[in-house]
Structure 1
């Protein structure tokens, strides 16, 4: 079903890969892009379980928007092993205004398709999504 705000549909692969990340921990992260010609959100890259947050950050283009989910493993102050799934809206200042609007208008509907997101993060440059910020938001 297309998003009424932007007319954007979500490919089944997006939902299936997200479920694999959430339930089976098959991936550390997923990068999604909007394929404007076919009006659909698609999977662009799958991060393997051994990959890191730095690998995700390096996968985001410096001048174009993307969505990403990242499965963060961490240890709480009480020494408990936990994990949280982050949704990252990457919208760098250098990307085209049209793309920023397209990603912004499609975000909420797309995020609703991915049941299990625990933390939402908006970033316009790498400093806004540093690992320290991610860790701080997890606790």
Structure 2
């Protein structure tokens, strides 16, 4: 189901910078004030840890997050995977949840190079263990 929400072109440009240029490792996306367009809320620097990303998530509102996760495999070296996180906490008003859920593919589809998606409704569903399990 499509919501009719559009995607600001800058969302794709900044994602490509994350993917290719390594100038940042996390992008937060949200709906604009009239719920008509997906826009960038903030971009976090390469030094941002996953714990910091989780702490930035609002407790009562939805977000899409792209996170470039660095990890290491023993005897094989350092690697990275790009994750798409669909954050939609239980406490979000139902109208917002519906718009956000029906708009996900509008932002997800053009982000070529995502390794895995994580759907989360609670902070306990976001941990490095979950990321590590999806890396293999």
TM-score range, shorter chain: over 0.9
Alignment TM-score, normalising by the size of structure 1? 0.92
For residues 77 and 111 of structure 1, the distance between their equivalents in structure 2, rounded to whole angstroms, comes to 31
User: Which structure 2 residue ranges, 5 or more long, are not aligned?
Assistant: none
User: For 1:85-117, what per-residue CA distance to the aligned partner results, in whole angstroms no more than 9, with x for missing partners?
Assistant: 000000000001111111110112210111111
Gaps of 5+ in 1: none
Larger displacement relative to structure 2 (87-96 or 27-36):
27-36
- Aligned partner of 2:59 in structure 1 is 62
Shift, 1:38, TM fit:
5.7
Aligned residue pair count: 136
**TM-score when normalising by structure 2:** 0.94
Q: Of 59, 64, 74, which aligns to 2:71?
A: 74
Computed over aligned residues only, the root mean square deviation of the Cα atoms, in angstroms, reads 1.3
The structure whose RCO (Cα within 8 Å, separation 6+) is larger is: 2
Of 86-95 and 27-36, the range deviating more from structure 2: 27-36
Deviations for 1:111-131, whole angstroms, at most 9, x for unmatched residues?
011111111100000111112
Q: Provide the residue aligned with 2:117 in structure 1.
A: 120
